[in-house]
């Protein structure tokens, strides 16, 4: 999907500057430094590059600290009922941040609690745009249907539920399969592409469509994947150094053993962690599906009730006063072309009656 590729590019560009606030470890750069240190015979630099504990602690620190702090402050304000303050903080999260979609969604819930339904719906229009639809998960659909229910937009509620079933089914099946097995083709592809740590959404790429949301930010998963990648990248360099007759044979040999042992343990542990992350998303999605089903039932019930009320109002003439040059008809859901954009609907409360003017 072209638009999704554009999204990944924008996120990669947007995070490149803010990510520099933390140490970012590139496998390619690390192996280059390690190789150069062996060739130059620099014992201190070799020891530094092979200090795996230091590498892990440095690169697994929170990425984009400023944006994460904004999210923490916004959530605290939201929890305290300070919705305007929360919205202001959410608005400060830049579009290039991994946290931006979260900020948009949570801002939408804040608007809904403020009874500002139009702005809540505006956030869902962003979240459920084709560009983001593959990766936003289930919650934005619930936010949109609740907002639509609040303004009695019954037709759009059914359309939203239909869109959820059509666009999220494959993702939910894939995540459920991952929850059962702990591994998948998408996960293996994502791992093979990763070069930098901390991991970023832009590097996970297309595979994010069928992997747990934000799994790349899970510290435990990142640590395990990092250990696998360190062995994959570092062992060949160390073996080459041994073949070249390095005087640091003992250090190189011990480092190979340690890297391979860490990677083996990580490969064994990663499926369990991925099962946990995937199952958490499956459980969340199931709760959302239950709520969407309840909203759909409520919608159908209201439609039948409102149709009867509209018929009674029409037969008794209980409409707001129309101008002398207007004719009033009950809305039967089948508008003529020249009726469009002439509806009168009371927003933020269900309309006492819906009518079209000619």
Q: What is the pLDDT of residue 311?
A: 56
* Residue with more model confidence, 8 or 204: 204
Overall residue count recorded for the chain in this entry: 358
Q: What is the mean pLDDT of residues 82-95?
A: 96
Domain ranges of the chain: 23-61+134-301, 319-358
Q: Report the range out of 59-68, 237-246, 312-321 with the highest average pLDDT.
A: 237-246
* Angle of the 154-181 helix axis to the 249-316 helix axis, nearest 10: 150
CA distance 107 to 216: 23
What is the reported pTM?
Answer: 0.78
46 close to 251: Cβ distance less than 8 angstroms: yes
Q: Return the SS3 of 253.
A: helix
Q: What is the pLDDT of residue 134?
A: 85
Measured over the CA atoms of residue 237, residue 238, residue 244 and residue 247, the dihedral's sign is positive
- Is the preceding peptide bond at 198 cis, omega within 30 degrees of 0? yes
CA distance 73 to 85: 9
User: How confident is the model over 153-190, as pLDDT tens digits?
Assistant: 999 999 999 999 999 999 999 999 999 999 999 999 99
Q: What is the pLDDT of residue 312?
A: 57
Q: What is the mean pLDDT of residues 243-264?
A: 96
Least confident of 83-87, 100-104, 235-239, 321-325: 321-325
Which residues are 77's β-sheet partners? none
* pLDDT for residue 11 is more than 80: no
Q: What is the pLDDT of residue 16?
A: 42
Copy the structure tokens of residue 90.
């959410």
Q: What is the pLDDT of residue 354?
A: 43
Q: Return the SS3 of 63.
A: coil
Backbone angles phi, psi at 101, to 5 degrees: -65, -40
Name the maximum alpha-carbon separation found in the chain: 100
CA distance 195 to 330: 62
What's the chain's average pLDDT? 84
Element (H, E) at 264: helix 249-316
User: How confident is the model over 128-162, as pLDDT tens digits?
Assistant: 998 888 889 999 999 999 999 999 999 999 999 99
Copy the structure tokens of residue 170.
């494959």
Q: What is the pLDDT of residue 135?
A: 87
* Residue with more model confidence, 314 or 291: 291
Least confident of 3-17, 253-267, 280-294: 3-17
Q: What is the mean pLDDT of residues 265-292?
A: 97
Counts of helices then strands in the chain (DSSP H, E) = 14, 5
Measured over the CA atoms of residue 187, residue 190, residue 195 and residue 199, the dihedral's sign is negative
Q: What is the mean pLDDT of residues 58-78?
A: 86
């Amino acid at each position: 999907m072209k638009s999704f590729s554009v999204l990944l590019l924008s996120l990669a560009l947007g995070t490149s500057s803010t990510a520099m606030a933390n140490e970012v470890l590139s496998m390619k750069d690390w192996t280059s430094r390690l190789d150069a240190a062996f060739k130059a015979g620099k014992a201190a630099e070799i020891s530094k590059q092979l200090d795996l504990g230091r590498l892990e602690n440095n690169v697994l620190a929170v990425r984009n600290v400023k944006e994460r702090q904004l999210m923490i402050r916004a959530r605290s304000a939201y929890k305290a009922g300070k919705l305007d303050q929360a919205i202001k903080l959410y608005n400060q999260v830049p579009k290039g941040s991994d946290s931006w979609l979260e900020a948009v969604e949570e801002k939408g819930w804040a608007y809904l609690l403020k009874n500002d339904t139009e702005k809540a719906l505006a956030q869902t229009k962003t979240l459920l745009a084709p560009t983001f639809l593959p990766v936003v998960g289930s919650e934005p659909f619930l936010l949109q249907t609740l907002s639509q229910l609040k303004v009695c937009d019954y037709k759009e509620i059914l359309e939203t539920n239909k869109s959820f079933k059509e666009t999220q089914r494959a993702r939910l099946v894939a995540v459920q399969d991952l929850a059962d097995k702990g591994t998948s083709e998408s996960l293996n592809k994502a791992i093979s592409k990763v070069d930098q740590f901390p991991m970023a959404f832009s590097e996970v790429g297309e595979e994010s469509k069928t992997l747990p949301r934000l799994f790349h930010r899970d510290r435990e998963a990142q640590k395990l994947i990092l250990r696998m990648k360190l062995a994959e990248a570092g062992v060949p360099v160390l073996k080459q150094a041994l073949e070249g007759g390095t005087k640091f044979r003992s250090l190189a040999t011990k480092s190979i053993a340690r890297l391979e042992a860490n990677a083996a343990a990580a490969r064994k542990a990663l499926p369990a962690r991925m099962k946990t992350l995937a199952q958490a998303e499956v459980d969340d999605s199931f709760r959302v599906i239950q709520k969407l089903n309840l909203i759909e039932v409520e919608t159908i019930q209201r439609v039948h009730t409102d149709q009867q009320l509209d018929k009674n109002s029409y037969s008794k003439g209980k409409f707001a006063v129309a101008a002398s040059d207007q004719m009033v008809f009950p809305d039967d859901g089948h508008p003529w072309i020249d009726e469009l954009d002439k509806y009168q609907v009371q927003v933020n409360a269900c309309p006492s009656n819906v009518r079209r003017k000619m």
